Chains A and B, each alone.
Chain A
Amino acid sequence: MSFLVVDNAVKTFGGLRAVDGVSFALQQGEIVGLLGPNGAGKTTLINLISGALPATEGQISLDGVRLTGLRPDRIARAGVARTFQLVRVLPSLTLTENVMIPAVFGAKSHWGPEARAVAMGALDRVGLAGRHDATAGALTYIDQKRLELARALAAEPSLLLLDEWLAGLNPSELLEGIALIRELAQSGVTILMVEHIMEAVRALCPRALVMNSGRLIADEATGAALADPHVIAAYLGEGADA
């Protein structure tokens, strides 16, 4: 049975159909890229799955549990964790506190030393070991991104939604980032990642979904998707089509 099922998801903002009848399914443990030009509706789709926005139409379910209509906190407790396109750390909290939150309020409801242990584990995993008591507001951009990923990990999610998590990293950080995501995928987490860095998509995702103007225009092996004339047209434009 499919793990994440998105069935005919629609999101309209006034007259704009930001997500227009998107359907696909992910198997448990799969890592899939979500591609498409700016404004294609990728982040909106992520927002529908994580509950940040309610879907106008359609159904989304995770492991047989219906997610559509649930509040974001319920969806988080159902095992969905995400990062944000524009990094969102909690500036007045320490790194440990930042990361502890989903461990405390998520599905597992850890508390006290147990929650700390989960948080420390997640911080160590993303390479922030030894800085547990620093304040999040003082971190550099890459470290804020690491922190955000650590926070998603501390939720111990079954589905991880990454919204351009690799954007803005320099080449060596990018390699580190790719290795980190690969390690996560190998641990069994299902990952759906919005990404513009093709190098990373090719390296990580055997399968890619491509969106354009709210519609899903390709759902196939990454190599084939990137060679698909429709996809190339969506990215580069098609003189005759316009």
Chain B
Amino acid sequence: MLKVVPFLALIALIVLAAVPFAVSDYGLGLLIGAVTYVTLASAWALFSGHTRYISLATVAFYGTGAYTVAVLNEVLPYWAVLAVAALIGGAMALVVGLATLRLAGVYFVIFTFGLAELVRQLITWYEVNVTGTLGRYIFLDITARGIYWQMLGLAAVTIALTAYIQRSRLGLALKVIGDDEVVAAHSGIHLARTKLVAFAASAVILTLAGAIASPRWVYVEPAIVFNPTVSFLTVIMALLGGANRLWGPALGAVPLFLIFEFLSAHFPDTYSIFLGLLFIGVVFALPDGVLAGLDKLKAKRTQPKERTA
């Protein structure tokens, strides 16, 4: 069973990579959106899934990635721009992490939410007062298919990295931190380093996702790329699927993204109401995610059988 999963995943990846040849432009746009959210939710869960530190900073990194491309796309070759974006995201995560990872619970949530707003306001201030223009254009010679393949690659790397971490010392350390930090420290786990490494890895991926997705916008300004809804959606997608499972975030991201698209297309004025109801529904009905819910159902079904046997 365990050996079949990576094999199936590889086949699925090949099939998914071939899909752009068979769909319309609109279909490809949907695919890019879905894969982007699979990446975001999986990368978010890489840190938050096991540690249970709920971060609302997703869009701070995602937007930073997009903005890096907007600023540098005419100065540096594309691959160098991606590398710079990754470095900026990682550095930002280290600074922010050092300052905040000792905050617990709701304080951390609020701080990360504030961080996204802070970055947005800082960039707005800088653009208005220093460069004098608020918006920027991204003219890159990258096709929608190119973006899709890059994002698919990033999603695959994220899930593979998560699988690797879950089997490593780092993964075990993160799980222990999620359960009880005092026990973790007294068992020899370096709390700050463990959390920082995972937070930075997650942030680098989130930043790269923003950088890769950015050419789709063409025109970029802080209010567009630092939209807090991205952070909320990412959290709820990961929670819906199961944030501490390898495939949970991906499983939550795809249907929620499609629902989100459907609602915003058909109910442009009221879709945020549906979105809010959906959030509440997920938290109430499936606090541990769909995968854990399925496990529970399975356990319920097998138990009575064992009793009669």
- Please judge, given known A-B contacts A90-B179, A93-B176, A93-B179, whether A105 and B188 are in contact too, CB under 8 Å: yes
A91 on the interface (CB 8 Å rule)?
yes
A239–B135 alpha-carbon span in the complex (Å): 81
A186 on the interface (CB 8 Å rule)?
no
Identify the stretch in A9-17, A21-29, A70-78, A168-176 within 8 Å (CB) of chain B at 4 or more residues: A70-78
Whether A92 and B187, one on each chain, are in contact in the complex, defined by CB atoms closer than 8 angstroms, is no
Q: Which residues of A contact B190 (CB under 8 A)?
A: 71, 73
A221–B53 alpha-carbon span in the complex (Å): 49
B173 on the interface (CB 8 Å rule)?
yes
Whether A106 and B187, one on each chain, are in contact in the complex, defined by CB atoms closer than 8 angstroms, is yes
Q: Digit string of A72-110 for contact with B (CB within 8 Å is 1, else 0)?
A: 110011000110100010111100010011101111000
Whether A76 and B188, one on each chain, are in contact in the complex, defined by CB atoms closer than 8 angstroms, is yes
Q: Digit string of B171-206 for contact with A (CB within 8 Å is 1, else 0)?
A: 011011011101111111111000000000000000
Which of A51, A71, A105 is the one whose CB lies under 8 Å from B187?
Answer: A105
B169 on the interface (CB 8 Å rule)?
yes
Q: Which residues of B contact A82 (CB under 8 A)?
A: 186
A52 on the interface (CB 8 Å rule)?
yes
A235 on the interface (CB 8 Å rule)?
no
Q: Which residues of A contact B189 (CB under 8 A)?
A: 73, 101, 105
A189 on the interface (CB 8 Å rule)?
no
For A72, A77, A88, the residue with the greatest tally of chain B CB atoms inside 10 Å of its CB is: A72
- Please judge, given known A-B contacts A52-B182, A104-B169, A111-B169, whether A90 and B176 are in contact too, CB under 8 Å: yes
Number of interface residues of B (CB under 8 A): 18
Q: Which residues of B contact A106 (CB under 8 A)?
A: 187-188
Whether B172 and A97, one on each chain, are in contact in the complex, defined by CB atoms closer than 8 angstroms, is yes
Q: Shortest CB–CB separation between residue B242 and chain A, in angstroms?
A: 13
Whether B185 and A72, one on each chain, are in contact in the complex, defined by CB atoms closer than 8 angstroms, is yes
A237–B174 alpha-carbon span in the complex (Å): 48
A selection of 8 A-B contacts at a CB cut-off of 8 Å is: A50-B186, A52-B186, A90-B183, A97-B175, A101-B176, A101-B189, A105-B189, A111-B169
Identify the 7 closest CB pairs spanning chains A and B, nearest first.
A105-B188, A90-B179, A76-B188, A72-B185, A102-B187, A106-B188, A101-B187
Residues of A within 8 A of B (CB): 50-52, 71-73, 76-77, 81-82, 84, 88, 90-93, 97, 100-102, 104-107, 111, 151, 155
Apart from A76-B185, A90-B175, list 17 A-B contacts with CB within 8 A: A52-B186, A73-B187, A76-B188, A77-B188, A81-B186, A84-B183, A88-B180, A88-B183, A93-B175, A101-B189, A104-B169, A104-B172, A105-B173, A107-B188, A151-B183, A155-B187, A155-B188
